[in-house]
Structure 1
Amino acid sequence: MNLFKRNKKDENTDEFHKEYGVISNCRYILGKFVKYRKSLILFIITGSIAAASMTYLWSFIGKLVIDMIEQQASSPDKDIKPLLYLTLITSAAELLFMWLNTVSSMKMSVGFTYVRLMIIKERIAKTLGMEYEALETPEMLDRLQKAKRATAGDWQGVQGMMTYMQVMGVQIISVTIAVAIMTTFNPWIILIIVVLSFAQFLFFDYIRKKDKKEMWDAMMPHWRKLEYMENVTTDFSYAKDIRLFGMQKYLAKKQIDVYDEELRHWIKSRQYWVYNTIFAHGISLLRQLIIIGWLVYSVVFNGLSIGNFTLYTASAAAFSNAINEILQALSALRERSAHTDDYRSFMDIPSADDKAQTIPIPPADKYTFEFKNVSFKYRGQEKYALKNVNLTLHAGEKLAVVGLNGAGKSTFIKLLLRLYDVTEGCILMNGTDIRKFDRKEYYELFAPAFQDVMVFAFPVAENVSMKEPFNTDKAEAEKMLRLAGLGDKLDKLEKGVDTELLKVLYDDGVDLSGGEKQKLALARALYKKSKIIVLDEPTAALDALAEFRLYQSFNELVGDRTAVYISHRLSSTRFCDRVAMFKDGEMVEIGTHDSLMEADGAYADMFRVQAQYYVEDKDIFDVPCQEVTSNG
């Protein structure tokens, strides 16, 4: 049995999972100590020596005291001063070791937690930097879930590795001292203790493997379900639907079902550990009988002194305990090492950008994008979401992308923004395939506003700038908010742009309505001042007339920048240069509003159906016609 490697037969076939091994993971943890808190190494050494010394201190003193008492009993001159001096010195040593152990333990506890938090910070940074597409797959979500569990607690995963490395240090010193003592009595006792302890460990390791396979590994998808159910039942954004549709009992039943599944696994897990406890007690009893019997025999027949009997009895017990602790700590290290493997495997997943040799985006005043025979389908799907799209977005152009829900509009935008890479064909920017550019640098070209507006528990100004407070221009943020139509709302807020949003972190936090959130998204797009603005149905919460008027004013604010407007409503098409019409994943029409109306195709049909919603303002239909593009 290899104590430093796991059985690969028990592992899944995840292409990104790696076996680093206990030794490699210990070096990894030590590297984190050096990186984040070097003093931990000193405290581990000091604490280990102090803890091991405390274990044997009174064993030695007990022997010396008994020998001194026997000597005094047979001597005509009684003098207890040596005994008092020995007691005082031992007490002082005990206090010193206790102080060193206590201080070291406190420093290690705080230090281990700090290092774990820094490792969590690394994991969060990795997650935030991963490709958008990767985080949508169940396989990647499972890898992320495992990495999160590896950093979830004091005794699990990476911090468990830290703790058991220190435990190993204490027990190795304890074993060294015990072996030195026990070899002066009988080396066979050492061998017997080691054999029995190893048998106990083998059974413990068998139970651990069974428990990991049938509890922890089997429960990984379940914990993702449990996390989802807990989020749904506690997330305020679900609260209205849950109450108005009377979903309380239904959701409670689903959550109980999830807990019942977990309970069944926990019951089986506890049964395994009951078996381990029974076996461990049996081995411990047998070991004690052998040790005590041998020592009693040595006292009666071999003249072993009472002092040495006391020393060897205590040392044998400490040695047995140390051997058990080492083997179980090693097993625990292997288990925590498995969790650390999960964490490191996640952290070492290469991104597409890591593999590619990217080039910097050449400085330019204008950017033109060309879709050349672009097709795309989502992972695991047979049907194409977009098929054979050919389109050129000219610098400074206003393009409307329209179509019914599910036509492929948002997929088109995700490809333009490079949230996904194309399945077939290519997208060129000023003649260069966008996959050759650094993804983060490419993102800087765009200022998007999406339909699902995410509001963060930050002040209003930071929700506009999407940057740290010291990088936020509050005056500019307020200006953009007023231009986006939130001036009246700001005037009602006592703290203005310093008002905290959401009540998650602050009791006086403010919640925005759906329409207000979408205006906030528009303000973000204006604040960023990127060369290309993308509006992916950000006004869906507004009525048709309000949407048209907002688009019209927003179009004036955009100026000569490139803008793409996406909607299944057509309020944006009249002031755009072109309109692209998408249907069932294909671009079926492209041209100006007038030319598409004259063609009397899908766009004209859709426009006539929606025209009734704009009759309150006949001027809408008198806006100078430019070109409109529909994309779904």
Structure 2
Amino acid sequence: MPPSDPTATTFAARWAALKNIPPFLAMVWQASRTLTLAMIILRLLRALMPVAMLWVGKLIIDQVVGLSSLPGHPETLSGWWDSGLASGLIALVAAELALALTQDILGRLVSYTDSLLQEKLVIDISIRLMDHAGDLDLASFEDPAFQDRLDRARRQTMGRIPLVNQVMQQLQDLVTVGSFAVGLLVYNPWLVLLLAVALIPSLFGEMHFNAQTYALNHRRAPDRRERDYLRMIGASAETAKEVKIFGLSPFLRDRYLTLARRFYLENRAIQRRQLTVMAGLTAMGTLAYYGAFLWIIANALTGDLTLGDLTFLSGSFLRLRGLLEGLLSSFSSMAGQAMYLDDLFEFFTSTPAIASRLDALPVPAPIRRGFRFENVGFRYPGRDDWAIRGMSFDLHAGETVALVGENGAGKTTIVKLLARLYDPDEGRILLDGRDLRDYDLDQLRGAVGVIFQDFVRYAVTASENIAIGRIEERDDRPRIVAAAERSLADQVIAKLPQGYDQMVGKRFSKGLDLSGGEWQKLAIARAYMRDAQLLILDEPTAALDARAEYEVFQRFKELTHGRTALLISHRFSSVRMADRIIVLEKGRVDAQGSHDELLAQNGRYRELFELQAQGYR
């Protein structure tokens, strides 16, 4: 059965889910071999403590009974001491004290080691998840089904960490059960068999309800993401203005409450059934325990068992019953937890469709001829309509080209294809005469610097916000300052109390928020920081006024002289400075040329230019 099957509620499926335990333990081992070994050794030692202490306790009781029945035994403590008869008893008491102290110390060491190991595992899994997510295609992140998988995997990064302690505790209890079982088997094998048979129904009951809970949670992943989204936008600094102005709070609250109530009612239905069924199954175990306890008492009364035997057997049976109940419950819970691990491992099985070939070519440095689109067509995943189709044009090396067109004309799609965030469905894109797919992917993206309109506002320092353009150079302050000066972001940073070291954004207490235009200048500085062979500005100046955008693009034109550049803007006063303008219309090239040439053609460019010009008259 596939791991993503939300109906995985059969016993076979629950048993099959245990296949996730070995790879999970492998992840624990990889997180820290030293701590894992220490945990195993400590728990093995601790596992033998209960039976050892109970056996020593039995010996103490038998010793006391035997000594007290001696004819003419001493009547005082000093008499016992002087006679030397109690030396064996004293040694046994000392041994039990040593065992008790050792057990306490082992408990502390286990807790300490377990805490460190779980923390190391959280770090290790989180890093693996981030690294794997970084390797996946952009198309994956734009797929709602993938978002559900990612959400479930992210939850397992923290949610399954207690499974480490659970598995280790299970192993420890198994060793303890084995040691107690040996003792009980010596007296009467039926005691262990009776106890095990009585507890098996509880195991299947727990497994059944754990599987139902997992299936419910798996099925609710999309609704849970919506619920979390509503909770976030209902109480978020980013949405507070609109929530207040439009009075959205009651709407968001009621929609959240509808989802939350549905979850609550579904959970309650399962828990009610679990309460009824498990109460009956647990009663069976209780009856079995007292049946065995009566056998022990009867044999003690007939003299077949000593008082020490009675103490050892009753204590062993009591501890064994508790351990077996815990093991069965823990095993059932572990099987349920293992189902959730499917979500994590399923995420790690996702592979990118866009990757470097084994014989990938290095990206030419410098680019000599440039890029060519040859009859390129592309549809976004899950869409029937074409974003672009039959697209053909050249982007010559050292040339500054502007793309213009209405929304949906395909401008941003071209940028994504140039950076190989997507591959064409039809046609091909060439770089210096070779298909873009022939080149090393990391080198290609390293040669392209893109600033999108919806750039990210990172809640880090101003310096780090710029350094994101070439993050491996984040300690190169002169390079960061030079990038800021080129984008005019230095004027923004000059106003900040801590300058380049100022935390920006409202997410953290020491952060200062910036205006939209100030954020955009920081973002544009990233393009200069990247110092790439192809620089692209995809409408990153939307929050700037016309004069500020003109200054930015004029500076961009000057600073990219002799370098390949692509800029996208709705303002024709800015794009006219480009060497060549390509006009896009419904995913195709409508016209291309200089500003004056396109105006003279009396086509779509002129129509759009005049429409915009009327707004300034």
TM-score, length-scaled by structure 1: 0.89
For 1:91, the equivalent position in structure 2 comes to 97
For 1:575, the equivalent position in structure 2 comes to 577
Question: 2:100 matched to 1:112?
Answer: no
| 1:356 Cα offset (Å) | 4.3
Distance in 2 (CA, whole Å) between partners of 1:396 and 1:363 is 14
| 1:425 Cα offset (Å) | 1.4
Q: Tell me: CA distance 1:362–1:8, structure 2 relative to 1, closer, same or farther (3 Å).
A: closer
Q: Can you list the C-alpha shifts for 1:70-114, whole angstroms capped at 9, x where unaligned?
A: 212321224445433322221112101221232122112221221
Where do 1:583-622 residues align within 5 Å? 583-612=585-614
SS in 2 for 1:392: strand
For 2:7, the equivalent position in structure 1 comes to 10
Distance in 1 (CA, whole Å) between partners of 2:182 and 2:559 is 84
Distance in 2 (CA, whole Å) between partners of 1:148 and 1:6 is 16
| 1:488 Cα offset (Å) | 3.1
Q: Tell me: CA distance 1:395–1:6, structure 2 relative to 1, closer, same or farther (3 Å).
A: closer
Q: Tell me: CA distance 1:468–1:433, structure 2 relative to 1, closer, same or farther (3 Å).
A: closer
Amino acid at match of 2:166: Y
SS in 2 for 1:118: helix
For 1:624, the equivalent position in structure 2 comes to none
Amino acid at match of 1:328: S
Deviates more, 1:66-75 or 1:551-560: 66-75
Where do 1:222-241 residues align within 5 Å? 222-241=223-242
Q: Can you list the C-alpha shifts for 1:543-596, whole angstroms capped at 9, x where unaligned?
A: 334322331222111111111111222123321122111222222222222222
Distance in 1 (CA, whole Å) between partners of 2:259 and 2:4 is 30
Distance in 2 (CA, whole Å) between partners of 1:393 and 1:469 is 29
Amino acid at match of 1:296: I
2:497 corresponds, among 483, 494, 498, to 494
| 1:8 Cα offset (Å) | 7.0
Distance in 1 (CA, whole Å) between partners of 2:546 and 2:227 is 40
1:40 corresponds, among 31, 35, 43, to 35
Deviates more, 1:174-183 or 1:262-271: 262-271
Extract unaligned runs of 5+ from structure 2. Answer: 75-79, 81-85
Residues 536 and 567, structure 2, Cα contact 8 Å, conserved in 1: yes
| 1:486 Cα offset (Å) | 3.0
| 1:385 Cα offset (Å) | 1.3
Structure 1 outlier segments of 4+, above 6 Å: 5-9
Residues 204 and 276, structure 1, Cα contact 8 Å, conserved in 2: no
1:447 corresponds, among 446, 449, 457, to 449
Residues 33 and 40, structure 1, Cα contact 8 Å, conserved in 2: no
Q: Tell me: CA distance 1:395–1:254, structure 2 relative to 1, closer, same or farther (3 Å).
A: same
Distance in 1 (CA, whole Å) between partners of 2:204 and 2:254 is 41
For 1:186, the equivalent position in structure 2 comes to 188
For 2:83, the equivalent position in structure 1 comes to none
For 1:323, the equivalent position in structure 2 comes to 324
Amino acid at match of 2:246: F
SS in 2 for 1:150: helix
Percent identity, aligned pairs only, is 27
Residues 467 and 480, structure 2, Cα contact 8 Å, conserved in 1: yes
SS in 1 for 2:401: strand
| 1:463 Cα offset (Å) | 0.9
For 2:375, the equivalent position in structure 1 comes to 373
| 1:34 Cα offset (Å) | 3.7
| 1:20 Cα offset (Å) | 11
Distance in 2 (CA, whole Å) between partners of 1:65 and 1:551 is 91
2:48 corresponds, among 28, 33, 53, to 53
SS in 2 for 1:184: helix
Distance in 2 (CA, whole Å) between partners of 1:179 and 1:420 is 62
Question: 2:220 matched to 1:219?
Answer: yes
Distance in 1 (CA, whole Å) between partners of 2:103 and 2:52 is 10
Deviates more, 1:334-343 or 1:559-568: 334-343
SS in 1 for 2:187: coil
For 1:173, the equivalent position in structure 2 comes to 175
Q: Tell me: CA distance 1:526–1:355, structure 2 relative to 1, closer, same or farther (3 Å).
A: closer
| 1:402 Cα offset (Å) | 0.6
| 1:280 Cα offset (Å) | 4.1
Amino acid at match of 1:392: D
Distance in 2 (CA, whole Å) between partners of 1:19 and 1:524 is 50
Residues 378 and 388, structure 2, Cα contact 8 Å, conserved in 1: yes
Question: 2:144 matched to 1:138?
Answer: yes
For 2:544, the equivalent position in structure 1 comes to 542
SS in 2 for 1:530: coil
Where do 1:377-392 residues align within 5 Å? 377-392=379-394
Extract unaligned runs of 5+ from structure 1. Answer: 13-17, 616-632
Amino acid at match of 2:116: V
Residues 377 and 384, structure 1, Cα contact 8 Å, conserved in 2: yes
Question: 2:113 matched to 1:103?
Answer: no
Q: Can you list the C-alpha shifts for 1:39-59, whole angstroms capped at 9, x where unaligned?
A: 223332333234323322442
Aligned length in residues: 601
SS in 1 for 2:513: coil
For 2:77, the equivalent position in structure 1 comes to none
Residues 123 and 347, structure 1, Cα contact 8 Å, conserved in 2: yes
Distance in 1 (CA, whole Å) between partners of 2:295 and 2:42 is 34
